Amino acid sequence: MLRWIRQQLGFDPPHQSDTRTVYIANRFPQHGHYVPQRFADNRIISSKYTIWNFVPKNLFEQFRRIANFYFLIIFLVQLMIDTPTSPVTSGLPLFFVITVTAIKQGYEDWLRHKADNEVNGAPVFVVRSGSLVQTRSKNIRVGDIVRVAKDETFPADLVLLSSDRAEGTCHITTASLDGETNLKTHFAVPETAVSQSVSRLEALQAVVECQQPEADLYRFVGRITVTQQGEEIVRPLGPENLLLRGARLKNTKEIFGVAVYTGMESKMALNYKCKSQKRSAVEKSMNTFLIIYLGILLFEAILSTILKYAWQAEDRWNEPFYNQKTEQERNSSQILKFISDFLAFLVLYNFIIPISLYVTVEMQKFLGSFFIGWDLDLYHEESDQKAQVNTSDLNEELGQVEYVFTDKTGTLTENEMQFRECSINGIKYQEINGKLVPEGVMDDLPDGSIPCLIREEELFLKAVSLCHTVQISYDQIDGGFGDPFSLSHTGNGFTQMEYFASSPDEKALVEATKRMGVTFIGNNGEHMEIKTFGKSERYKLLHVLEFDADRRRMSVILETPSGEKVLFTKGAESAILPYTKSGELEKTRVHVDEFALKGLRTLVVACRHFSAEEYREVDRRLHEARTALQQREERLADVFSFIEQDLELLGATGVEDKLQDKVQETIEALRLAGIKVWVLTGDKHETAVSVSLSCGHFHRTMNILELVQQKSDNECAEQLRRLARRIKEDHVIQHGLVVDGASLSLALREHEKLFMEVCKNCSAVLCCRMAPLQKAKVVRLLKTSPEKPITLAIGDGANDVSMIQEAHVGIGIMGKEGRQAVRNSDYAIARFKFLAKLLLVHGHFYYIRIATLVQYFFYKNVCFITPQFLYQFFCLFSQQTLYDGVYLTLYNICFTSLPILVYSLFEQLVHPHVLQSKPALYRDISKNGMLSFKTFIYWTLLGFCHAFVFFFGSYILMGEDTTLMGNGQMFGNWTFGTLVFTVMVITVTLKLALETHFWTWMNHFVTWGSIAFYFIFSLFYGGIIWPFLHTQDMYFVFVQLLSSGSAWFAIIIIVTGCLFPDVLKKVLYRHLQPTNTQKSQLVETQQGSVSCLDSLCCVGPEGEEGPGVCVRLARLVERLMGRCAPPRADRSWSSSDPYFSNDRTILTLSPIEASHY
């Protein structure tokens, strides 16, 4: 127990060495003083709390918030000293806020506990004591041999020992880990692959040595030592031998594996990454405003304390006859009395800080985020994917974006590759009717005839069909799965052969060679088989040199049917051409550049033939590097460089990746909205420029500037100065900048300011040949520049994760490169075109809603507490409260909370269609305009002005003559305070009604319902003598107030006097200085409002327009929203609309809900 506590506190880390030793079947050595290592159990813990630490841990986290901690201090002060208000006035709102937040967080954690228990209690089979034993997943220990059956998930990270296949291979999918749905082949070492029964596994004597746990899914360094007949055989272990927890077994009956990483040490658990907390600009402004209001609070408290002692300098006010001091009060310390009075005033005015602001903002963000998922315009029907919100804290940030950084492949393009052209031995070829034809030559071969390929062409096609990691899935009639080679030779063993690849390029190339007559048949880990025009050839697979981002190439070493050892390699031209010694180098380079200018993705293919002596050296060095436990990656990199040289150039391929739908319109809409778009891609210069031109990122009339192929700092600096001068000279022309990765590194090293100056004066920037970390550096450079612009990064692959996490807002595309980007993003959408509506509509709405919410909260609290401050001037600063304690408590919780919450969920300044068709409206809210200091001062001064009118209006109307009752009965201070409070509740509620542009039945209900609730509650509260209250000050006060005609007159006059200037200001500004948004509102009003019928997508059962479904949906939305009015204008949108033709209201139905109507 003590050791566990020390581990939890971090004093006793469980792992002391860099490696771990795992004894298979936990057969520990019997000799010597062996001390077994301690490993984590197999429980997965994603929950945050336990039943024991929930209360203290949750309270600690909540009181780390400044506002909560502040109110806790105020509450404690009320308990410790004699204050004018009851501790309940601060304690109850604080308790409400803390309780609501704790319930929400507790419920979310309970769901996590429930999911954990389900996973940890799943049944598994483990080999123990010579038999197969069923147990729970949480009971698996490191060293246990686990059996996993077909379609089951792996319960821990296992090293594969054997499978039902003789060669010890199995197929898995890692969709739940990285989103890749292709089949991956994993291998067992030959010495353990033969142990296919429980008895043989029990007799297996083997030890696994591997690295300590790390989060990288694609890295595993280890070795296995198998003892056979007294001889120790050492084999390397890599990622291809490790079965990750969460992956699923496919096309294999069963496997046995030894657990090496369990529970929270498994790679899946280590990837439960706590992303760094992103804070929106609105939240930062809110915190700034809170500090300002804290300053106002301290000023009012200090001023009141000073004025109290200044007033009491006269004896008649210091100790009046009706309030004689006790002897203890006369002898008490003046400093302590001053501090006590200061704290009392602090308590009296503390409600100027709105505690419920945080809860309301959290609820608004949480509930508001559902609208993104519900929006059918963001639903992609083909892939059945809707928009996801992973972080609701940044909703309003979508309305503040100034820079968009986007990946190209899979984000702007479809990531669906189609083979177009290739270059073989310096000659360009095209595919025509499934045949390889030299450029300029027509396909004159009759259909069905076998083309005659020359040696270079055949070698090139064989290299392309063998140098890859493609897997094959066979759909079989009999349902069994055996050796793919045997299947390929049977006429009825399968119905269809389908290729799966982690890279779409590889799949497109293998499919292309198949059409041309060189068909890849299968790979069983030891052999690869192809058919060349029907003739079968089997190659022995000796080594695979895996692709990595540094080398930018991958290779295979094969033994041909004739016994020759050959290396096939493919990769980027910059990674292959420098290492070639023969072949048509210059012609191929020209062809690669031509392919790139057409926007094709290029790969260069080469080979190398080994002599017997050369191969022995290669094999020895590879074995040494792969069995090394220390610095394995560095050693392998050196060996790969040694092998991949002196290459013979075979040719190059050109694969097309077509643009996604409406990319050009989306980029143009973002540009009109004032958002600069940067494209960051790993593609070569010519390919990237061609795609940028085709997608509208670069215009044909744009002056393209280049910062590429810079070799030194001085050369880079000089080029940047030339570009800066050119921009100043041609300031009328739009400029686009192209930068490559090498030049970018030089520019960021010494010349950041000059580089930024050039970039900011360019309308569009394209960065090519970018490494993943360089993408993040570019985003960070813009993010931390003096202007502090709001940045958004969007991508679809693992190489975009660092960029997505670095930007203020990260958006993942649900593409074909896995789900890493989606898992690490704040929002996820299926297509790039959805970005326009996400920013221009949702971002616009979220920002205006929460900006108004924040300003309104501060305004209504100034209105609330300023009359309390003014009242002290009339009561000798005696700390007498103006309002009853119940009103103090319920003002923010009940009387004024719901209208602003509903407003912040449904408000729309203009119709969504208008926002999309006029992207320039996005500029009206840019740079946090609605939360600027000027706007903040306006709302604050408005609150003070209204508070003065509340107080002095009531004072003038009833201060001098308090006989407002018909029978001559006088009003007291509680009646005066209740009058001020009544006027205030009505005014602040109607003020929000004036700010509301989009009225639903819900707005009407909470607006008028809040006012009605206040009157009903006050009548009920003041009409009964409550036995548990110490005083009955409010008894019958409200009834008397409402029975006075003068009081009703005062309420009407004061409310009108407060709101009339606001109405006048709005009318004058709208007609004299209208904003673009107000102009759009005016145009929309003149043309006729868009009905719900128009704003829904009217699609009939078979895709044709028809009113049936539309009318039913419209009526449902009418019932929900209450917005629809009879249409005054018939507005129809054609399919040629530049932005989304199927425009709908923000609150739309999901496909599931729609199917019920």
- For the stretch 580-592, pLDDT in tens is 888 888 889 899 8
- Quote the CA–CA distance of 652 and 572 in Å, as a whole number: 10
**pLDDT for the residue numbered 740:** 84
Q: How far is CA 1092 from each of CA 606, 1095, 1111, 1115, 1153, rounded to the nearest angstrom?
A: 62, 5, 9, 8, 17
How many degrees, rounded to 5, is the angle at CA 321 between CA 315 and CA 326?
A: 85
pLDDT tens, position by position, 1128-1145: 333 333 333 333 333 332
248 strand-pairing partners: 153, 173
How many degrees, rounded to 5, is the angle at CA 773 between CA 772 and CA 774?
A: 90
- Quote the CA–CA distance of 94 and 79 in Å, as a whole number: 14
Binned at pLDDT 50, 70 and 90, residue 243 comes out as very high
**pLDDT for the residue numbered 703:** 83
More confident residue, 64 or 731: 64
**pLDDT for the residue numbered 351:** 80
Q: Say if residue 452's pLDDT is above 70.
A: no
Q: How far is CA 609 from each of CA 468, 563, 646, rounded to the nearest angstrom?
A: 18, 11, 10
More confident residue, 694 or 935: 935
**pLDDT for the residue numbered 902:** 93
Give the percent of the chain with pLDDT over 90: 13
Q: Say if residue 99's pLDDT is above 80.
A: yes
Q: Say if residue 710's pLDDT is above 60.
A: yes
**pLDDT for the residue numbered 960:** 60
- Quote the CA–CA distance of 543 and 176 in Å, as a whole number: 29
**pLDDT for the residue numbered 820:** 63
Mean pLDDT of 567-582: 87
Closest CA to 483 of 151, 152, 185: 185
pLDDT tens, position by position, 611-631: 888 888 988 988 888 877 777
**pLDDT for the residue numbered 988:** 94
pLDDT tens, position by position, 895-907: 888 999 999 999 8
Of 144, 157, 393, 407, the active-site residue reads: 407
Buried b (16+ CB within 10 A) or exposed e, 52-70: eebeeebeeebbeeebbeb
Q: Is 661 a catalytic residue?
A: no
**pLDDT for the residue numbered 178:** 56
Binned at pLDDT 50, 70 and 90, residue 325 comes out as low
pTM of the model: 0.70
Asked whether 387 and 838 are in contact (CB, 8 A), the reply is yes
**pLDDT for the residue numbered 1143:** 33
Closest CA to 132 of 243, 256, 261, 22: 256
**pLDDT for the residue numbered 1131:** 32
**pLDDT for the residue numbered 711:** 76
pLDDT tens, position by position, 1-41: 555 454 444 444 444 567 888 888 887 776 666 667 788 88
Binned at pLDDT 50, 70 and 90, residue 346 comes out as confident
Q: Residues, the chain, total?
A: 1157
pLDDT tens, position by position, 797-843: 766 777 888 888 989 888 665 566 777 788 888 888 899 999 999 99
- Quote the CA–CA distance of 96 and 148 in Å, as a whole number: 50
Closest CA to 498 of 461, 528, 470: 470
More confident residue, 450 or 371: 371
- Quote the CA–CA distance of 886 and 1038 in Å, as a whole number: 13
Binned at pLDDT 50, 70 and 90, residue 180 comes out as low
Q: What are phi and psi of 817, to 5 degrees?
A: -105, 35
- Quote the CA–CA distance of 359 and 545 in Å, as a whole number: 55
Exposed/middle/buried for residue 1156 (C-beta within 10 Å: 0-12, 13-18, 19+):
exposed
The one-letter code for the residue type at 930 is: M
**pLDDT for the residue numbered 7:** 47
Give the percent of the chain with pLDDT over 70: 81
Mean pLDDT of 394-402: 88
**pLDDT for the residue numbered 1028:** 60
- Quote the CA–CA distance of 694 and 659 in Å, as a whole number: 8
Q: Say if residue 355's pLDDT is above 90.
A: no
Mean pLDDT of 441-448: 55
DSSP output for 621-670: HHHHHHT-SSSHHHHHHHHHHHHS-SEEEEEEEEEEEEEPTTHHHHHHHH
**pLDDT for the residue numbered 1089:** 44
**pLDDT for the residue numbered 447:** 52
**Mean model confidence pLDDT for the chain:** 79
- Quote the CA–CA distance of 303 and 339 in Å, as a whole number: 13
